[in-house]
Amino acid sequence: MAKTQKQDFKDLTPQELQDKVQESQIAYKKARFNHAVSPLDNPLSLRAMRRDVARLKTELTVRTKAEKTK
C-alpha cells in the first residue's frame, strides 16, 4: 500500500504536497471529532488517515532537505 502511495507523491510539486498535507490534516481532525461525538463504523480508518498524513509530511521533509543540500 505504501509503495503505490509513495509513487503518487513523487508526481506532486512541493506546493501541491503541502496543500495535500493540509487537506489531509483537516479531514483527519474532522473524522476524529465525529468519532468522539458518535462512533465511526470503522475506527481503524482514523489510523490510516493519520499514517497518510505522516507519509505526506515525511515526503515533504525529504524534499526540503534535498533542496537544502543542493
pLDDT tens-digit series, residues 9-68: 788 888 999 999 999 999 999 999 999 999 999 999 999 999 999 999 999 999 999 988
Confidence of residue 1 (pLDDT cuts 50, 70, 90): very low
Cβ atoms within 10 Å of 52's Cβ, excluding its own: 19
Q: Quick check: 21 and 36 in contact, CB under 8 A?
A: no
Report yes or no on 28 lying in a domain: no
| Number of domains, the chain | 1
The burial class, CB within 10 Å (0-12 / 13-18 / 19+), for 42 is exposed
pLDDT of residue 5: 62
- What's the pTM? 0.82
Q: 532537505: which residue's cell?
A: 65
Range of the domain at 47: 42-70
Any idea what DSSP says for residue 12?
Answer: S
Give which of 59, 70, 55 is closest to 25, Cα–Cα: 55
pLDDT of residue 11: 84
Report yes or no on 26 lying in a domain: no
Report yes or no on 15 lying in a domain: no
Report yes or no on 61 lying in a domain: yes
